[in-house]
C-alpha cells in the first residue's frame, strides 16, 4: 500500500474525546507535502492512528460556520 505522508500544521480544536482517548479534531493538515487543508477526523491518543474523516477548504469551512450559526441547536 502506498504511504501517505501528512503533517499536522495546526491543531485548530477538539470536538470530543472518546472513553478510549480517541479525539475528534479539526486540524490544518498538509497531505503528501501539498498545500494544507482543514481536516475533520478521529485520532488515536498519540496521533499515530487516524479514523475516517473529511477534508474541507477554507471556503467550505466558512460556509459551514454560516450554516451552524443559523441552526437552532
- Say if CB 22 and CB 43 are below 8 A apart: yes
Residues 1-30 that bind a second copy (CB under 8 A): 12-16, 24, 26
Among 1-9, 29-37, 40-48, the segment contacting a second copy (CB under 8 A): 40-48
Question: Which residues between 46 and 65 bind a second copy (CB under 8 A)?
Answer: 52-54, 56-65
Decide: 39 and 53 in contact? Cβ < 8 Å.
yes
- Closest C-alpha among 57, 11, 12, 53 to residue 34: 57
User: Which residues would be at the binding site for a second copy (CB under 8 A)?
Assistant: 12-16, 24, 26, 40-42, 52-54, 56-71, 73
Amino acid at each position: 500500500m502506498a504511504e501517505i505522508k501528512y503533517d499536522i500544521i495546526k491543531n485548530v480544536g477538539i470536538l470530543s474525546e472518546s472513553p478510549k482517548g480517541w479525539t475528534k479534531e479539526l486540524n490544518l493538515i498538509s497531505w503528501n507535502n501539498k498545500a494544507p487543508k482543514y481536516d475533520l477526523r478521529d485520532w488515536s491518543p498519540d496521533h499515530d492512528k487516524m479514523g475516517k474523516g473529511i477534508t474541507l477548504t477554507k471556503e467550505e469551512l466558512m460556509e459551514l460556520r454560516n450554516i451552524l450559526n443559523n441552526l437552532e441547536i
